[in-house]
């Protein structure tokens, strides 16, 4: 709780529509995408960078803690307030200007509050898009502060690779505005300061604008479902596809049979594409694409993909057991339905892990053997980005399971999974969701002391005020 004088002062900076204090109005900002629930002292909704600066400066001078919130689609409690009722939420949802397209430079200068879907819809006429493919629909500021990857990382890279400039407000007594915006792709004139604010959960400053690299919308695509000969052969299949297709390969997405079955059960409109309706234990969605329009005499991509798969199939000791090329929209509809399908199968405990590409299937096979020994009744519903080493390791617990009423159960499960992922497989406990309150303990545990000391010093220099949900 904060004093009414602060509420009045903030309202004078933002106007009636810019500050929410009624419980019903704040409820959506207090509730996260994965069960987390907090209490906000207020929700500030600035429209311009200058308003963000004024609010942040006032809060820092008066010791009021702020949590920046973008689309609130994160999974690690990074954008919701804690339970004290003393933190304010600074929402980006009205920071939707500017929107300046430079078609020749292939860049967009945009407000951090714009949603990914709106950005790509408005870019469609120009034949361009921001090439981060996600099942959720986040806002740009949150995508940058968590360094989102997505399903086509293999072709286009992550948000970090596609961010050219930023405008950031620091949590100091002046609410300092840093203009790090640039349309330059090559600029080696010193420290690349924007990188400090990408992937660091908003703790070092609040992103209000960004300059993004854009890519031509693919004009031709072909997709296939691939069933590997065994889990051990998945890396061989990936390498074979890369060798045969080069830059054409834009996605190589792994989906467990449990996750696919959950999606088919939850979304009746999805067509079961598998022979006799039998879902494989593991299946890969592969996509190839071209940004150029079809040319006369050019082999269609469906035929290219079929030829490549046929060549792999005919190899001695082939890594492929089955494959079929199919409609892209249907195959991607199944892939994008996995998250919601798994979520509705029971109580979901989600992990966002990454490994060296050759270790993903070893980790998954290890966990299938060990899970029943340690946490019987927990179902693994994994899927992820095999092409870039990321895996959404989702664990589903039946809603009626009495262990869910024990607050220590989820903590013990997270400890066990992260210990194996990090200590035994040398992986990361956060591939593309950054840190957040849920992962704070693991940041403290697994980050070397000298790195933590540097991060703490950087936080003190950039944003000494109480900002964000993560302690660096």
Indicate the burial class of 59 (C-beta count within 10 angstroms; 0-12, 13-18, 19 or more). buried
Q: State residue 264's pLDDT score.
A: 96
Q: Which residues pair with 467 in a beta bridge?
A: 66
Q: Which residues pair with 262 in a beta bridge?
A: none
Please check whether residues 266 and 372 belong to one and the same domain.
no
pLDDT one-digit tens code per residue, 107-166: 999 999 999 999 999 999 999 999 999 878 999 999 999 999 989 999 999 999 999 999
Please check whether residues 171 and 133 belong to one and the same domain.
yes
Please check whether residues 329 and 251 belong to one and the same domain.
yes
Residue where one domain finishes, among candidates 78, 93, 108: 93
SS3 198: coil
Residue 29 inside a domain? The answer is yes
Please check whether residues 159 and 179 belong to one and the same domain.
yes
> Which range (28-37, 241-250, 376-385, 435-444) has the least confidence?
28-37
Please check whether residues 180 and 77 belong to one and the same domain.
no
DSSP character string of 392-413: EEEEEE-TT-GGGG-HHHHHHH
User: In angstroms, rounded to a whole number, what is the distance separating the alpha carbons of residues 146 and 148?
Assistant: 6
Has residue 74 got a pLDDT over 90?
no
pTM of this structure: 0.93
Judged by phi (left if over 0) then psi (alpha if -120 to 50, else beta), residue 101 lies in beta
Distances in Å between the alpha carbon of 135 and those of 75, 142, 339, 428?
A: 13, 15, 8, 22
Per-state percent for the chain, helix, strand, coil, to nearest 5: 40, 25, 35
Containing domain of residue 323, as a range? 220-339
Mean pLDDT value across residues 185-203: 94
DSSP H or E run through 222: strand 220-228
Residue where one domain finishes, among candidates 339, 369, 404: 339
Has residue 35 got a pLDDT over 80?
no
Please check whether residues 313 and 391 belong to one and the same domain.
no
User: In angstroms, rounded to a whole number, what is the distance separating the alpha carbons of residues 380 and 366?
Assistant: 12
User: In angstroms, rounded to a whole number, what is the distance separating the alpha carbons of residues 106 and 93?
Assistant: 25
Residue 32 inside a domain? The answer is yes
Please check whether residues 113 and 183 belong to one and the same domain.
yes
Q: State residue 37's pLDDT score.
A: 86
Say if residues 122 and 111 touch (Cβ distance below 8 Å).
Answer: no
């Amino acid at each position: 709780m904060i004093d009414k004088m602060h509420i009045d002062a903030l309202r004078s900076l933002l106007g009636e529509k810019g500050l929410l204090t009624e419980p019903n109005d704040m409820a959506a900002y207090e509730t996260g995408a994965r069960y987390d629930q907090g209490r906000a002292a207020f929700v500030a909704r600035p429209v311009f960078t200058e308003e963000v600066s004024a609010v942040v400066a006032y809060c820092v001078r008066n010791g009021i803690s702020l949590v920046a919130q973008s689309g609130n689609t994160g999974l690690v409690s990074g954008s919701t307030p804690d339970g004290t009722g003393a933190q304010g939420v600074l929402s980006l949802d009205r920071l939707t200007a500017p929107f300046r397209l430079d078609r020749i430079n292939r860049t967009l200068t945009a407000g951090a509050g714009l949603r990914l879907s709106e950005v790509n819809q408005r870019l469609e006429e120009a034949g361009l898009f921001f090439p981060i493919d996600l099942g959720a629909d986040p806002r740009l500021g949150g995508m940058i502060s968590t360094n989102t990857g997505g399903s086509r990382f293999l072709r286009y890279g992550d948000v970090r690779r596609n961010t050219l400039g930023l405008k950031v407000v620091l949590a100091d007594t002046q609410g300092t505005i840093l203009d790090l915006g640039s349309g330059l792709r090559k600029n080696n004139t010193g420290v690349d300061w924007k990188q400090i604010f990408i992937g660091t959960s908003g703790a070092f400053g609040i992103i209000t604008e960004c300059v993004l690299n854009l890519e031509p919308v693919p004009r031709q695509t072909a997709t296939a479902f691939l069933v590997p000969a065994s889990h051990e052969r998945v890396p061989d299949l990936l390498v074979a596809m890369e060798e045969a297709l080069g830059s054409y390969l834009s996605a190589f997405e792994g989906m467990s049979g449990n996750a696919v079955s959950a999606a088919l059960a939850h979304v009746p409109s999805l067509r079961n594409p598998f022979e006799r309706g039998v879902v494989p234990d593991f299946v890969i969605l592969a996509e190839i694409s071209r940004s150029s329009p079809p040319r006369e005499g050019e082999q269609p991509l469906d035929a290219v993909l079929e030829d490549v798969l046929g060549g792999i199939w005919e190899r001695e000791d082939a890594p492929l057991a089955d494959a079929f090329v199919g409609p892209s929209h249907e195959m991607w509809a199944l892939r994008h339905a996995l998250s919601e399908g798994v979520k509705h199968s029971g109580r979901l405990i989600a992990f966002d892990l990454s490994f060296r590409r050759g270790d993903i299937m070893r980790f998954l096979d290890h966990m299938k053997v060990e899970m029943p020994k340690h946490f019987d009744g927990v179902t693994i519903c994994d899927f992820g980005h095999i092409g870039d080493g990321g895996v959404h390791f989702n664990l589903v617990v039946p809603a009626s399971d009495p262990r869910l009423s024990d607050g220590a159960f989820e903590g013990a499960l997270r400890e066990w999974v992260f210990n194996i992922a990090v200590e035994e497989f040398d992986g990361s406990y956060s591939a593309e969701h950054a840190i957040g309150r849920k992962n704070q303990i693991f940041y403290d545990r697994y980050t070397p002391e000298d790195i933590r000391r540097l991060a703490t010093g950087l936080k003190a220099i950039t944003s000494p005020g109480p900002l964000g949900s993560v302690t660096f």
